[in-house]
Structure 1
Amino acid sequence: MALAAPRNLFLLAFLGCLGLMGGALYLEHVVGLEPCPMCIVQRVCVILFALVCLVAAIHGPARLGQRLYAGLALLFALVGAATAGRQIWLQSVPPDQLEACLPSLEFMLDALPLQEIVRLVFHGTADCAEVTWTLFGLSVPEWSLLAFIGMILFGLFQLLRRR
């Protein structure tokens, strides 16, 4: 049984990311969920993963190029999974042990150096730990982690596959 062409799989992964972003925008604009800074980092990772997959699908690389694109996509998926995992952990911490909410991401970008923004975002606060919506008993970061695991598996498959 022949495996699907790498170009087609990259395109399929890109379309899957479009679906994920559509779901995130639906939750934000229709359901009314405001994304916390960690959610925004996860969205950026999905977008970067999607862009790498789109470029790979358009380029149709040879074996070395395919592996470079897969490695870059894998990197973005790992960062997203780490962020989602951190947010899931924060949701298990009692609220009284978490810091107060962060200022808006726009304010932090204007007022703080990049190192401080990264530290604050990944340290997490009460707004990142709040569970405001679930589907089948899983919160948004848990669904996000499942999506990133799928992206990681895709990246590994593309990275390690033989022609």
Structure 2
Amino acid sequence: MNPFRWSFRKQFLLGFACCAALLGYAFYVQFHLRIQPCPFCIFQRIAFAALGLVFLVGGLAAPRSQGARKAWSLLALVPAVVGIGYAGRHSWVQLYPPEMPSCGPGLNFMLERQSWLGVARKVLMADGDCSNINWQFLGLSMPMWCLLWFLALAAWALLAGFRRR
């Protein structure tokens, strides 16, 4: 059975399952392997959760019209592009670490003092510990894998929404 020929519903529910599995693995790494996430990691998790939510609701709605499927596909693209931005920036920080050895205050502290937009801006200017590579698979760090997954899921959403039925 060719997954590229599946219904919109099946394709979107598979996208949800991928996001749920990726988040599950992130929590496994945090709580079982005891590798603590940095602020970049937290924002990537939020992007995966938002993308998964769009996949789930879109899959359950299973729109019949081509226009509605395109709209759901473009809606899924929003958290995917945000995730691509965070994962890409995190990968960049790991490849070209800044000279400052600190990632700054914790995420909870920053949220108490600033708005979400201010915290997001602060995280994007990351320095130090965010550049540590604590986990690798096939020579790629976790943010690099996240970047690949965000790209793949964005392409999957576009395929589901823009494929002729």
Interval of TM-score (by shorter of Structure 1 and Structure 2): over 0.9
The runs of 5 or more residues in structure 2 that have no matched partner are none
- Cα deviation for residue 93 of structure 1 reads 1.7
Question: Structure 1 regions of 5+ residues with no counterpart?
Answer: none
- Aligned to 1:67, which of 53, 66, 70? 70
Contact 2:12 2:157 in 1 (8 A): no
Separation of aligned partners in 2, 1:94 and 1:55: 39
- Cα-Cα RMSD: 1.6
Matching of residues 79-90 of structure 1 within 5 Å: 79-90=82-93
**Cα deviations by residue, 1:129-158 (Å, 9 ceiling, x for unpaired):** 111111121111011111111111112212
Q: C-alpha separation between the residues in 2 aligned to 1:56 and 1:107?
A: 35
Distance in 2, matches of 1:42 and 1:94, equals 19
Alpha-carbon offset, residue 58 of structure 1: 1.0
Counterpart in 1 of 2:136?
Answer: 134
Q: Among residues 101, 104, 111, which one is paired with 2:103 in the alignment?
A: 101
Describe how 1:1-163 pairs up with structure 2 within 5 A. 3-62=5-64, 63-96=66-99, 98=100, 100-163=102-165
Distance 1:117 1:11, change over 3 A: same
Q: Counterpart of 1:111 in structure 2: which amino acid?
A: R
Moved over 3 A (4+): none
Take 1:155 and 1:118, find their aligned partners in 2: how far apart are those partners?
A: 25
CA distance in 1: counterparts of 2:35 and 2:146, whole angstroms: 15
Amino acid at match of 2:149: A
Normalising by structure 1, what TM-score?
Answer: 0.92
Cα drift, residue 64 of structure 1: 2.0
Number of residue pairs the alignment of both structures matches: 162
Partner-residue secondary structure (3-state), 1:32: coil
Q: TM-score, normalised by structure 2?
A: 0.91
Compute the displacement of 1:99 (Å): 6.2
CA distance in structure 1 between the partners assigned to 2:51 and 2:61 by the alignment: 15
